[in-house]
C-alpha cells in the first residue's frame, strides 16, 4: 500500500491523472489489447477527469483502445436525468475524449431485472480480462462505490439500499430535497474492486480525514469498507494535506519520506520524462 500526499486538491487531481495516463501509455493498448479502467463519480474525481481531457486534447493520450466500467448507478433515475451517473460521465468526461461509446460500461438502474443487470456487469468485466486499474473515491463514512458500512468485504455487483448519511450527502445534487434523492443503487462490490490488478483511491478534504485514518491506520473493518484495500497487493491512496489531519504525524512523515526516497517510483510521469 502506498499513500501519496499532495499539497492541495488540484495537485492531487493532477497526480492521479498523470498516473492513469502513464499506466495507459505503458500498457500500449491496441485493437486486440484493450486497457480496462474502473471509474468513479462524485465531486472528488472531477479535477482528475479535467486533466485527462487536457492530456487527450493535447494529443498525449487516447482512449480509443480503453474499456471503462463505472462503479455504480442510481436505481429508478432516468438515464437522461442530470444527476444520473450516465449523465455525469458523459457530461464530465466521455463526450470530451475519443472513447467508443460501446466500450463505456455503466450499470442500468432502470433494468427490468436488476440482479440480472448486476450479474451481466460482472460477466462483462470478466470477458474484458478484468480491470487493470480501478479508480475510486470514498464517502466520509469510508464507503467505496455504494458499499455502505456493514457491507461484505467479498461482495459482488448488486442492489444496495443507501445509508442515510449518503442520502444526506447527495441531497446537494438534488437542490437539498431529500425526497428526490434515490434511496437505492446498483454498485460493484468490494470484492469486484479487489479483483482489479491495481487500485487507486482519491481522498481529499478535511471531511474525509477520519475515513482516511480508518482506511490505513486501523485494521480491516466492514464498517469502513475502504479499509479492505489494505489487503490489496497494489493500492495507492492519493490525498491532499487536508485529508491527513487525523493521521499520526509519524505516518505522514513516513509516507512523505517514501515520496522523496523513491521519486522514480511515485512520480507518475518519470518514465515519460526520461523518454522510456
Looking at the annotation, which residues are catalytic? 72, 141, 143, 148
Helix 9-27 vs helix 46-57: crossing angle, to nearest 10: 50
Pairwise CA distance, residues 210 & 235, whole Å: 19
Pairwise CA distance, residues 2 & 272, whole Å: 21
Pairwise CA distance, residues 128 & 248, whole Å: 40
Tell me which residue of 260, 203, 242 sits closest to 226, measured CA to CA.
203
Quick count: other Cβ atoms within 10 Å of Cβ 123? 11
In the chain, the largest separation of any two C-alpha atoms, in whole Å, equals 54
- In this structure, what C-alpha cell is assigned to residue 65? 483502445
Amino acid at each position: 500500500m502506498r499513500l501519496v500526499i499532495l499539497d492541495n486538491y488540484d495537485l492531487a487531481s493532477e497526480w492521479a491523472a498523470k498516473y492513469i495516463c502513464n499506466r495507459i501509455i505503458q500498457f500500449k493498448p491496441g485493437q486486440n489489447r484493450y486497457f480496462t479502467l474502473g471509474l468513479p463519480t462524485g465531486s472528488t474525481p472531477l479535477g482528475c477527469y479535467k486533466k485527462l481531457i487536457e492530456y487527450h486534447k493535447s494529443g498525449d493520450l487516447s482512449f480509443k483502445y480503453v474499456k471503462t466500467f463505472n462503479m455504480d448507478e442510481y436505481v429508478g433515475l432516468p438515464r437522461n436525468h442530470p444527476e444520473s451517473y450516465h449523465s455525469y460521465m458523459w457530461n464530465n468526461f466521455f463526450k470530451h475524449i475519443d472513447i467508443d461509446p460501446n466500450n463505456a460500461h455503466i450499470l442500468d438502474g432502470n433494468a427490468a431485472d436488476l440482479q440480472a443487470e448486476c450479474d451481466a456487469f460482472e460477466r462483462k468485466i470478466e470477458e474484458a480480462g478484468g480491470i487493470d486499474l480501478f479508480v475510486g473515491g470514498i464517502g466520509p463514512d469510508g464507503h467505496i462505490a455504494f458499499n455502505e458500512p456493514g457491507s461484505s468485504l467479498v461482495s459482488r455487483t448488486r442492489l444496495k439500499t443507501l445509508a442515510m448519511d449518503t442520502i444526506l450527502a447527495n441531497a446537494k445534487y438534488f437542490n437539498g430535497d431529500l425526497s428526490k434523492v434515490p434511496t437505492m443503487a446498483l454498485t460493484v462490490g468490494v470484492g469486484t474492486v479487489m479483483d482489479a490488478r491495481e487500485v487507486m483511491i482519491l481522498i481529499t478534504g478535511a471531511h474525509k480525514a477520519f475515513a482516511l485514518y480508518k482506511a490505513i491506520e486501523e485494521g480491516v473493518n466492514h464498517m469502513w469498507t475502504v479499509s479492505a484495500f489494505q489487503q490489496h497487493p497494489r493500492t495507492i491512496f492519493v490525498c491532499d494535506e487536508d485529508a491527513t489531519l487525523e493521521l499520526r504525524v509519524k505516518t505522514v512523515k513516513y509516507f512523505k519520506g517514501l515520496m522523496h526516497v523513491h521519486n522514480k517510483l511515485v512520480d507518475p510521469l518519470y518514465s515519460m520524462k526520461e523518454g522510456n
